[in-house]
């Protein structure tokens, strides 16, 4: 399935026939977004177990629908999936306690930044089938993109199931070489922040050009959001969409001459991505 992209909408309904118990460890922002997606796609509520010490009211409310919250360990049976969505700094304290759940042939999916397959195998058990995944924040609206890397124990059936579960928060891509996750983290994991910065920077530049600050801010936000949606919906490639707004000798061309100069955005972005990739390598364990 390497390179295959599957959108959330294209997997609708595909979770209805998935069997076994799914244990979600950490129902914060990312865990909560995945949970929403699984419920939307028909995962049987009674087969979802949430382990979360401080559940939000929304998570507590799910118990009235049949989802189980913090049940005693001996009541968690037939575990097919353990999805780990806690903060990386909590991993060393929390994950060893999951070993008995993982030991029964379950597939573990971790979305913790920087926690390598080697770390997960050490803490969950060397025989555990594990997918390490890197999502991004548009997951909150089902429009994220997640890149997964399986360890050697993951069967092709488990990979397909992991694809469906991760597909609940957006598109899914696979790589076989775990080392690529540092660059993935730099590009798509951290990427939303660069796009938000673009909106901030565009607004500041608009203000500097004489616009009232609140108008500049609305123009920048709508421009970034609308362009993102156009990019999402259009069959055209990115360069063509850019060229379509650019007439020779016009205003856009004047700005792009600056942004696309040798020391322009490409150079800056390459330096930024290299810095994030380096930091991701430093933080990995
Ligand atoms: N947000 C992103 O853009 C992004 C992108 C890629 C990857 N990730 C990864 O996704 C993971 C989750 O991030 P997030 O933004 O969703 O963080 P978050 O909102 O803080 O969620 C983490 C959740 O885990 C809970 N937790 C703490 N100790 C626990 C325990 N012993 N057992 C079960 N649950 C426990 C936390 O509860 P408390 O609030 O009570 O501590 C919190 O609800 C992180 O590892 C991060 O690296 C995030």
Quick: pLDDT tens for 155-176.
Answer: 999 999 999 999 999 999 999 9
- Atom of ligand 1 at shortest range from CA of 31: 16
Rounded to whole angstroms, how far apart are CA atoms 190 and 137? 9
In short, whether 276's Cβ falls inside 6 Å of ligand 1 is no
Question: Which residues, in sequence order, are bridge partners of residue 108?
Answer: 82, 130
Question: Which residues, in sequence order, are bridge partners of residue 83?
Answer: 24, 109
Ligand 1 centre to CA of 26 (Å) is 6
Percent of the chain surpassing pLDDT 70: 95
Rounded to whole angstroms, how far apart are CA atoms 55 and 27? 7
Four-CA torsion 193, 28, 108, 12, nearest 10 degrees: -80
Ligand 1 centre to CA of 75 (Å) is 24
Report residue 275: phi and psi, to 5°.
-65, -45
Q: Is the pLDDT of residue 17 over 60?
A: yes
Quick: pLDDT tens for 263-285.
Answer: 999 999 999 999 999 999 998 88
Q: Which two tokens stand for residue 7?
A: 């959108």
Ligand 1 centre to CA of 12 (Å) is 26
Q: Is the pLDDT of residue 7 over 80?
A: no
- The region, left, alpha or beta by phi > 0 then psi within -120 to 50, assigned to residue 170 is left
Rounded to whole angstroms, how far apart are CA atoms 67 and 61? 9
Instruction: Specify the residue with its C-alpha closest to ligand 1, atom 25.
Output: 26
Ligand 1 centre to CA of 89 (Å) is 9
Measured N-to-C along each axis, helices 29-40 and 156-166 cross at an angle, to the nearest 10 degrees, of: 100
Rounded to whole angstroms, how far apart are CA atoms 223 and 229? 10
Cite the DSSP H helix spans in 22-144: 29-40, 57-61, 91-94, 99-102, 117-124
Mean pLDDT of the chain, nearest integer: 93
> Among 36, 41, 70, 31, which Cα is nearest to 161's?
41
Is there a contact between 107 and 161 (Cβ–Cβ < 8 Å)?
yes
The pLDDT score that the predictor gives to residue 13 is 52
Rounded to whole angstroms, how far apart are CA atoms 162 and 174? 11
* Interval 84-91 mean pLDDT: 95
Instruction: Specify the residue with its C-alpha closest to ligand 1, atom 38.
Output: 54
Task: State which of 24, 27, 29, 182 you would mutate to test the pocket of ligand 1, scoring each by most atoms of that ligand within 8 A of its C-beta.
Answer: 29
In short, whether 51's Cβ falls inside 6 Å of ligand 1 is yes
Rounded to whole angstroms, how far apart are CA atoms 142 and 53? 25
């Amino acid at each position: 399935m390497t390179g295959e992209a599957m959108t959330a909408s294209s997997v609708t309904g595909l979770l209805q026939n998935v069997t076994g118990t799914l244990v979600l460890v950490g129902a914060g922002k990312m865990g909560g977004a995945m949970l929403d997606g699984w419920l939307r796609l028909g995962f049987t509520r009674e087969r979802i177990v949430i382990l979360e010490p401080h559940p939000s009211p929304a998570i507590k409310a799910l118990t009235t629908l049949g989802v189980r919250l913090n049940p005693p360990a001996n009541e968690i049976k037939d575990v097919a999936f353990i999805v780990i969505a806690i903060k990386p700094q909590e991993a060393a304290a929390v994950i060893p306690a999951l070993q008995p759940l993982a030991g029964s042939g379950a597939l573990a999916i971790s979305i913790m930044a920087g926690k390598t397959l080697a770390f997960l195998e050490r803490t969950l058990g060397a025989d555990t089938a594990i997918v390490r995944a890197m999502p991004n924040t548009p997951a909150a609206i089902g429009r994220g993109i997640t890149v997964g890397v399986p360890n050697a124990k993951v069967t092709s059936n488990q990979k397909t199931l992991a694809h469906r579960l991760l597909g609940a928060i957006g598109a899914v891509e696979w790589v076989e070489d775990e080392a690529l996750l540092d660059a993935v983290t730099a590009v798509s994991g951290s990427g939303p922040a660069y796009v938000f910065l673009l909106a901030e920077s565009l607004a500041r530049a608009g203000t500097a050009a004489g616009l009232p600050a609140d108008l500049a801010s609305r123009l920048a936000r709508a421009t970034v959001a609308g362009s993102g949606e156009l990019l999402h919906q259009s069959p055209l490639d990115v360069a063509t969409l850019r060229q379509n707004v650019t007439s020779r000798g016009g205003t856009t061309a004047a700005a792009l001459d600056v942004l696309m100069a040798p020391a322009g955005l490409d150079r800056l972005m390459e330096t930024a991505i290299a810095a994030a990739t380096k930091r991701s390598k430093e933080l990995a364990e």
